[in-house]
């Protein structure tokens, strides 16, 4: 980095320090490029309200999630590497106890088990959870799942950036951004490129607002109980995810139509009733959180540089799969920056070249 007359020069300016911005920053610094991160530290940002779970199996049909074999291998290595860099433990392998809510769900799981046992297995004793849970139709197991301590990871990486003078806590305003063929300028900052990792803010970004975002809202409760094992993640429509100090994350909802990004009392009441029916152990609600996810119509991320403004990029649209998708596509984007390596076609924003050129 060079300074001259209080003007600062960087290779890359990154907007947003959620899970995408964190891994992008991490890999860029590993590559020797100078960065500055701008983030307004919104407490209800999607990354900060997420469970941190990577589940290889999705949906009522018990199918493997998109690219999961490659993503799981990459994620395991990525989280261990960034944890070593920060001297923290933010990654844990876990087993997901998937309770069958109906006979049909049990049948679907067993049918899938007969076809393909990758990531799914049957318990040796499906009555062994009855001390803590009410359930009528048994359960299956998903293994391995990964559990990421997002709060620890994001706060630790922010502290690192602050110590290095690489972080500004402020709201980014696109009105102040100037883009030329050679560089970008934002207030006193000059950089060769800018990359937006700012979640739902890109929905209104003049460079990327024509992309087919499909924002949806999620909510979760934070509960306290002393009786659960933290070695497992529990699922029956909603999930119970271990956090720390006897705290568990319980959620989440998927709302496609909403008037506010704030927690909704109806979610809290409905979820509390589900827990009272499902759990045999006492619990206390500690908090209620909500966030809007930057999902997409195609359920595929937005990665790459604008076809018209070549030094304006995006790493966004991870939806509910941010913990698995963000490290992988942050790495792909950096390889594109350094070596012009193509981005996976299903994620490359140039698949929307025509609509982006209307920006």
- Do residues 110 and 180 both lie within one domain? no
Mean pLDDT over residues 314-336, rounded? 96
Q: What is the CATH number of the domain that holds 266?
A: 3.30.9.10
Query: Is residue 100 located within the same domain as residue 19?
Result: no
Tell me: do 142 and 218 sit in the same domain: yes
**pLDDT (average), residues 237-258:** 91
Under the banding of pLDDT at 50, 70 and 90, the label for residue 5 is very low
CB–CB of 195/349 below 8 Å? no
Q: Do 131 and 92 share a domain, yes or no?
A: yes
What pTM value is reported for the model?
Answer: 0.93
Record the tokens describing residue 306, joined without a space: 């604008």
pLDDT digits (tens, 9 = 90+) for 24-70: 999 999 999 999 999 998 877 888 788 999 999 987 778 999 999 99
Same domain, 133 and 282: yes
Kindly state whether residues 246 and 219 are assigned to the same domain: yes
- Domain with residue 19: its CATH number is 3.50.50.60
- Cβ atoms of 234 and 283 within 8 Å: the answer is no
For 50, 262, 263, the CA distances from 266, given in Å and listed in that order, are: 20, 12, 9
pLDDT (tens digit per residue) in 183-214: 999 999 999 999 999 999 999 999 999 999 99
Placement of tokens 């152990």 in the chain: 281
Q: What is the dihedral of CA 232, 237, 243, 244, to 10 degrees?
A: -70
* Segments forming the whole domain that contains residue 201: 3-48+152-213+297-356
Given a cut of 50, whether residue 14 has pLDDT beyond it is: yes
């Amino acid at each position: 980095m060079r300074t001259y007359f209080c003007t600062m020069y960087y290779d890359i300016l990154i907007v947003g320090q959620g899970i995408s911005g964190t891994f992008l920053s991490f890999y860029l610094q590993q590559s020797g490029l100078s960065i500055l991160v701008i983030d307004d530290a919104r407490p209800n940002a999607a990354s900060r309200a997420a469970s941190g779970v990577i589940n290889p199996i999705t949906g009522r049909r018990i199918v493997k999630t998109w690219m999961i074999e490659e993503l799981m291998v990459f994620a395991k290595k990525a989280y261990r590497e960034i944890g070593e860099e920060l001297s923290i433990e933010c990654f844990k392998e876990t087993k997901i106890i998937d309770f069958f809510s109906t006979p049909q769900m049990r049948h679907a799981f067993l049918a899938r088990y007969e076809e393909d046992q990758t990531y799914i297995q049957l318990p040796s004793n499906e009555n062994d959870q009855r001390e803590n849970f009410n359930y009528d139709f048994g359960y299956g197991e998903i293994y391995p799942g990964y559990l990421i301590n997002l709060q620890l990871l994001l706060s630790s990486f922010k502290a690192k950036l602050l110590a290095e003078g690489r972080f500004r806590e402020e709201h980014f305003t696109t009105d102040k951004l100037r883009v030329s063929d050679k560089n970008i300028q934002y207030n006193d900052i000059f950089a060769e490129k800018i990359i937006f990792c700012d979640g739902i803010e890109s929905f209104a970004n003049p460079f990327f607002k024509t992309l087919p975002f499909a924002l949806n809202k999620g909510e979760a409760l934070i509960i306290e109980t002393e009786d659960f094992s933290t070695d497992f993640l529990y699922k029956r429509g909603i999930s119970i995810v271990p956090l720390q100090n006897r705290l568990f994350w319980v959620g989440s909802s998927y709302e496609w139509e909403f008037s506010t990004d704030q927690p909704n009392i109806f979610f809290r009441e409905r979820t509390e009733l589900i827990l009272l029916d499902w759990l045999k152990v006492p619990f206390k609600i500690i908090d209620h959180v909500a966030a809007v996810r930057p999902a997409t119509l195609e359920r595929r991320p937005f990665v790459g540089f604008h076809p018209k403004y070549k030094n304006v990029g995006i790493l966004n649209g991870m939806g509910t799969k941010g913990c698995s998708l963000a490290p992988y596509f942050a790495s792909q984007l950096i390889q594109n920056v350094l070596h012009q390596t193509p981005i996976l076609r299903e994620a490359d924003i140039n698949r929307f070249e025509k609509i982006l050129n209307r920006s």
